[in-house]
């Protein structure tokens, strides 16, 4: 029995975080290093219609009302503080004030995650317009002009090399 207890204490903690959604009552699991904005948007997408949306995530210490909760901003990474701290979502209903939001303070509103556009050439940048194609008529025209200039320079150097012996004999006659 002591061996099983020692083995449990030596096993590493899980590599995921659990966030309790107050609207649905479900616990969602996220990988370590997940940004709070992503977690909030994923939780909100899985909520039923009419359920209050999560605004942000905070960590509270269970059983200790004197302890100030730790709020996670949109770009902060979720952290599990262990030892009685639990992560949960905060909705408008949880905030003080008549409509939930008190004192006119601005609360983080999560960005909605838009589905990727499959038809665009580069869908890794959401919200940005697809770039113009790299090859167009102006690009092809510049390449043709560059080739013409190369051939003109080659012709000038060829003529100069052909006339070099005559130039050298002319210069040597003056010396």
Mean pLDDT of the chain: 76
CATH code at 8-94: 3.10.20.90
pTM: 0.47
Cα–Cα distance measured from residue 155 to residue 39, given in angstroms and rounded to the nearest whole number: 66
Report the half-sphere exposure of 115 (CA within 13 A, side-chain side).
Answer: 4
- pLDDT for res 169: 92
Domain boundaries, the chain: 8-94, 133-175
Residue range 42-69, pLDDT digits in tens: 888 888 787 888 888 888 877 766 678 8
Q: What is the DSSP letter of 85?
A: E
Mean pLDDT, to the nearest integer, of 117-141? Answer: 66
CA distance 130 to 128: 6
Kindly report, residue by residue over 10-49, the tens digit of the pLDDT. Answer: 666 667 888 888 878 888 888 888 888 888 888 888 887 8
């Amino acid at each position: 029995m002591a061996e099983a207890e020692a083995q449990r204490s030596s096993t590493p903690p899980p590599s995921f975080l659990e966030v309790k959604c107050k609207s649905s009552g479900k616990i969602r699991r996220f990988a370590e290093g997940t940004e709070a904005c992503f977690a909030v948007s994923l939780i909100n997408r899985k909520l039923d219609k009419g359920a209050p949306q999560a605004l942000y995530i905070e960590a509270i210490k269970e059983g200790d009302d004197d302890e100030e909760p730790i709020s996670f901003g949109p770009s902060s990474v979720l952290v599990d503080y262990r030892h009685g701290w639990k992560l949960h979502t905060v909705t408008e209903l949880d905030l003080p004030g008549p409509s939930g939001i008190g004192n006119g303070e601005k609360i983080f509103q999560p960005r909605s995650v838009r589905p990727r556009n499959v038809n665009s050439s580069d869908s890794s940048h959401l919200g940005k317009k697809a770039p113009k194609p790299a090859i167009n008529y102006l690009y092809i025209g510049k390449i043709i002009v560059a080739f013409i200039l190369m051939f003109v320079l080659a012709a000038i150097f060829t003529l100069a090399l052909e006339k070099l012996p005559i130039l050298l004999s002319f210069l040597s006659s003056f010396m």
